[in-house]
Amino acid sequence: MPRWTFALRASQEAWATFWQPIPPPGFHDLMAMIKTRALRLEGDQHPFFANLLYFKELLALPRAPRRRRSR
């Protein structure tokens, strides 16, 4: 059996909306997605909330604009 502490579950469409460069209201933040029921938090919630800022910033990284590296 696979082991996990908690899971964030959302549809493929919900994640695609969340990762848009400028997502619409309700998809701009993990907590907003939980409130609108587009995202489910399952399992032990303590590790998630104890590290909430980390998870919010980590999962928002794909929507950040790519920066050019200077040489």
Q: What is the pTM of this model?
A: 0.80
With a CB cutoff of 8 Å and minimum separation 6, the contacts of 7 are 40, 41, 42, 43
- Beta-carbon-side half-sphere exposure of residue 48 (alpha carbons within 13 Å): 16
pLDDT at 66: 62
pLDDT at 63: 86
Query: What are the boundaries of each domain within the chain?
Result: 6-62
Average pLDDT, the chain: 90
Write out pLDDT tens, residues 13-22.
999 999 999 9
pLDDT at 3: 80
Write out pLDDT tens, residues 26-47.
999 999 999 999 999 999 999 9
